[in-house]
Amino acid sequence: MMEPATVVGHDAVRLSRIPNFRGLFALLVLALRQQVRGWRLIILGLLFLLPGALAAIVYEAAPASARRSSPAEVFDFVFLFMLIPHALAPLAALLCAGGIVRDEVEEQTLTYLLLRPLPRMAIYTVKLLAALIIAALLTSFFTVATLVFIAWLSGEPPTVGYVAQGMTIAAIFSLAQVAYCGLFALLALLMRRALLVGVIYIIFFEGLLATFDTIARRMTVMYYFRLLVLRWLNPARGVTWEFNLKTAPTAANCVLTLLVAGFVLAIVGSLIFASREFRMKTPEGE
């Protein structure tokens, strides 16, 4: 008679509760490399060159008398504080953060990513951080470069004050990108046409709604961006924003609001990513 088969027991493998920082860092480097490759970076770079090109065209087309009467502050406001924050900065966040999961699904690499011994929430957070870093660096670099170019175009040599102003502008744009990246990454998880919805949001919500003096505009990133510009930079000319700075939120409250909004959106997105099952395509097309 054959002896019954015995099942050999094995001790359960316990996963360490200590975060795998080496794995998280490797994932961050990989996510950063994914962000700077391909058509996305080229398109964003060309778009961010647009304010400087427009400033040069307007300046060269204007008569000599108009050039002397149009100080650099006017160009700064039109091209730095209108065109970039209303269109280019949120578009950079949309393109960088909106694809942190979608790109992995389309390239059929999400399965390999999820097989790593890393928590799902950490994977989403690290990829969102990479998108935020690239979006903030792109926006800050090209904004400061445009500031210097406008100063040179207007015949005003950059001084130490321009360096401080450039660093302040970079800080304000980076704070705005924290909220934008968290929002657009979450939208990409909730809907398929996130790119189209994101563009509509930028035009109507951040563009039109932030312009009217209503309670709803306090829900926009642009509201806090403008307040930080007024409080930290105090632009003297060309500003058409109407704010009662005595009753408006302070600079500290604006910073806290943008950071908390970005943090909450990132947490919600990571929870959704951790609980969702993603249908992957196989090489056989299944």
> Are the C-beta atoms of residues 80 and 229 closer than 8 Å to each other?
no
- Condensed to tens digits (0 to 9), the pLDDT of residues 60-107 reads 776 665 555 555 566 666 777 788 888 899 999 999 999 898 888 888
pLDDT of 7 strictly over 50: no
What pLDDT is recorded for position 41?
A: 84
What pLDDT is recorded for position 60?
A: 73
**Two tokens, residue 238:** 């060309």
What pLDDT is recorded for position 269?
A: 95
* CA–CA dist 210, 223 (Å, integer): 6
Q: Which residue has the higher pLDDT, 30 or 12?
A: 30
User: What predicted TM-score, i.e. pTM, was given to this entire model?
Assistant: 0.84
Among the listed residues 176, 180, 169, 178, the one whose alpha carbon sits nearest the alpha carbon of residue 230? 169
Q: Residue 211 CB: number of other CB atoms within 10 A?
A: 17
- Condensed to tens digits (0 to 9), the pLDDT of residues 96-149 reads 999 898 888 888 888 888 888 888 999 999 999 999 999 999 999 998 888 888
Least confident of 42-46, 105-109, 191-195, 266-270: 105-109
* CA–CA dist 248, 257 (Å, integer): 13
